[in-house]
Amino acid sequence: HEGEKSELAVVKRIGTCTMHALRKAGKTIFEIVGVGVGAPGGISNGCVIQAANFPGWKDVPLADMVRGELGGDRPVVLVNDADAATCAELWVGAAHEGKEDDGPASSSSS
């Protein structure tokens, strides 16, 4: 359904999923530093410039919309979904190779 891909429907779903994950982890929104969102298409300054699989999306301020949905208190970082998947793979996936660290923030070069 096209309505399920509307900006508002997607933002609501992100909010619902985020809150569910926090509850499952026994955390609140106030216990996290921020939220990372991966979206398809061109991304610039927190906006989805255009996404082929989301017809009608053009210059959508997704980071700000998600921030508002989550109460506006935590930063939201928006990146391309392929870049987000690559980062996750390096952090906790097969590319991680058992390295012990606290995630992307701790992987600065020495």
Query: pLDDT value at position 110?
Result: 39
Tens digit of each residue's pLDDT (9 = 90 or more) over 61-105: 999 999 999 998 899 999 999 999 998 888 887 766 666 655 555
Q: What residues pair up with 66 in beta bridges, in sequence order?
A: none
Name, in order, each residue with C-beta under 8 angstroms of 101's C-beta and a sequence gap of 6 or more.
Answer: 107
Which residues are CB-neighbours of 65 under 8 A, at least 6 positions away? Answer: 7, 11
Instruction: List, for residues 6-60, the tens digit of each pLDDT value.
Output: 999 999 999 999 999 999 999 999 999 999 999 999 999 999 999 988 988 999 9
Token pair for residue 40?
């398809």
